[in-house]
Structure formats: C-alpha cells, structure tokens
Amino acid sequence: MKDQIQSTQTEALAQIEAISDFRSLEDARVGILGKQGSLTKLSAGMRDVAKEDKAEIGQLLNAARQTITASLDAKKEALQSEADAKALEGIDLTLPGRSVHHGSLHPLTIIRHEAIGILRRMGFALADGPEIEDEFHCFDALNTPEDHPARNEKDTFYFDSGKLLRTHTSSVQIRTMEGGKPPVRIIAPGSAYRRDEIDATHLSVFNQLEGLYVDADVSLGDLKGTLEYFLQEMFGSETEVRFRPHFFPFTEPSFEIDVKLHAKGQAPKWIEVAGCGMVDPDVFDSVNGNRKDEAYSPAGVTGFAFGMGLDRLAMIRWGIKDIRLLIENDTRFLKQFA
C-alpha cells in the first residue's frame, strides 16, 4: 500500500508538470482526486489495511493528497500567469488610462425628486393612479363639459373601448377623494398624454405634478403661501412669483402662476410655470355622487388644487431651450448633469 501511494503521487506530479492548458489540468484533477480518481481508489482500500497500520497509511494518503493539490494549484497559477502575459503582448503599459465616465440622474428625475421633497416637507403625501383612465375621472368629475376641446379626439388619445390615456394627473385627485375622507393633502406626479405636435416646447408625453389639499377651512391664502414657498425653494429665495386670474373648469377662482426669470445677458421676463385654484364645489358634488355620501360637502370642506409640468420646471432651472433634449438621450447634453 505504501509503494502504491508513492507511485501514484510520483505519476500524478509528473502528469501535472507536463500539462500546458487549463482543460488538461481539470482532466488531471478529476483523474487523480475525483470520485473515480486514482488516489481516491487507493483511499477506498483503507478498509483492507491492518488495524495497526491504518494510522500510518492514512497519514501517507493525506500527505499525498496535499502534495498533489498544491501541485495542481501551482500549475493553475502558472498557466494563468502565462495567459495574462500573452494577453498583454503588444500593449503599451505607458499609455495613459482611459477616463471613467460617471453617470448621473436624468434632469427630469432630479427636478422630480426635488419637487416631491419640498412638498413632502409641507405635509403632502404621494398618491398614484392609472394612466389609462375613463372619461368620468379624467373629465366629468372635474367639471369638464362634453364640448370642451380637451375631450376631442384631436387632442386626446382614446382607445376603442372608450377609455383614454389621461391628459393630466388630476384624475388621481378624484380617485383619492373617492377612496378616503377629508382631510386630504396629496401630490400626484406622473406621465400625462396629449395629441400635441412635438416641437421645442411641446411633447405628446410629458411629466406632470399635481397637488390637492382639502380640509374644513382651506383658504386662498393657504394656496398662495404654499406655491410661493414651493417656487422659492425650487428657484431661489429671491424668486418673484405672481398670480394671474384664469379659468379652469375644476377650480373657482383659478389662477396661472408666473415666475420672473433672470437669464444672463437678457432682460428679466415672466414665465408661466403652473395653474391653480380653489376646488370648484361641482367637483366635490361629483365625488360625493360616486361615494354616495356627503363626506366632501361644499358646505363643510374647501380645498385648493394645483398642477405644473416638471419638464417646464427643468427647462427654467437649467435654461434648456428645447424640450426635445429631455427625451433624445444625447449623452453630450446629459453629461452636463453628471
């Protein structure tokens, strides 16, 4: 048994020494140490060894296994070194390394995170809803008449089923009120879809953020203070904000909001950034009709709503002249935000 162990070890070491590739090395490992390997078969013969010789023979087998394993590891390391050296042939190690390009968040993602963060600090919770909507939640509940241009197939994406791609995230406000009682203070960021011709200021798919606050005594002053604070946090504490009377079917009174833009080398100018207003009582009546209760009775609650395009906020923040840059994935443009 001792001679067999020694002979197997000698043959194995000679075989390993002659190997010149990884495949042959793996075959040798299996042929020597595998389940049917030569050394494994010798180990199985321990049951026939006399009791007084078992300790000595066992030590010899363990020593042979360790020696062969060490030889296999050394050969593997040597083969890897040879492969690495071959791979580096012809490479000039003195050449400067290639720079690593750092990724970053998309500008729309950056502005979305900032806007949500500001509004959440004021107590607004995130709300979500389906992008494929029905006409009730997208138009009827928001006091939008049947002859309103937004309901025309030329302006809105309709499906054969009669459903449509939501034209704003105001539908989330309706679903939130249907699902819970006041007080409600939510923001609804998400995609909206309209049949707009794509140009420097319009996309058919854009990013919107809308908000709703309903409680027992919400005032126009609350609306004004909320949005002034938001816009000054977004664009700087010195930002001038103005409210212009406007008309929206779902708010009364309604306003458009402008901020004064101070672009380098240009005269300051007012730019529209959002629409807002006090929730129209007819909207509360529609919600109550669907809920079949008076949780949002106009006699007991008031509220305000607002909406803005995140794409527009990004364009104002960074002076982007063409909205199409935000969807073209041109790395020459996007790397500015890395």
Confidence of residue 38 (pLDDT cuts 50, 70, 90): confident
pLDDT at 263: 67
Residue 276, φ and ψ in degrees, nearest 5 = -160, 175
Higher-pLDDT residue of 238 and 184 is 184
pLDDT at 153 over 70: yes
Measure the CA–CA gap between 173 and 167, rounded to whole angstroms. 13
Question: What is the reported pTM?
Answer: 0.69
Domain ranges of the chain: 2-87, 107-337
Q: What angle do CA 204, 212, 116 make, to 5 degrees?
A: 70
| CB-CB contact of 267 with 151 (8 Å) | no
What single letter denotes the amino acid at residue 222?
Answer: D
Quick one: the chain helix, strand, coil %, rounded to 5? 45, 20, 35
Residue 17 in tokens? 């020494």
Name the average pLDDT for the chain. 90
Question: Torsion angle, CA of 138/141/146/151, rounded to 10 degrees?
Answer: -10
Measure the CA–CA gap between 5 and 35, rounded to whole angstroms. 17
pLDDT at 88: 80
pLDDT at 228 over 80: yes
Residue 209 in tokens? 């953020």
Highest mean pLDDT among 65-69, 211-215, 328-332: 211-215
Measure the CA–CA gap between 250 and 170, rounded to whole angstroms. 10
pLDDT at 28 over 90: no
Residue 153 in marked binding region = no
Over residues 37-52, mean pLDDT? 75
pLDDT at 45 over 80: no
CATH for the 107-337 domain, from 3.30.360.10, 3.40.50.300, 3.40.50.1370, 3.30.930.10: 3.30.930.10
Measure the CA–CA gap between 254 and 270, rounded to whole angstroms. 18
244-272 pLDDT, tens per residue? 999 999 999 999 999 988 766 778 889 99
Listed in sequence order, the DSSP H helices in 156-295 are: 170-179, 220-235, 281-291
Pairing of strands 269-279, 164-165: unpaired
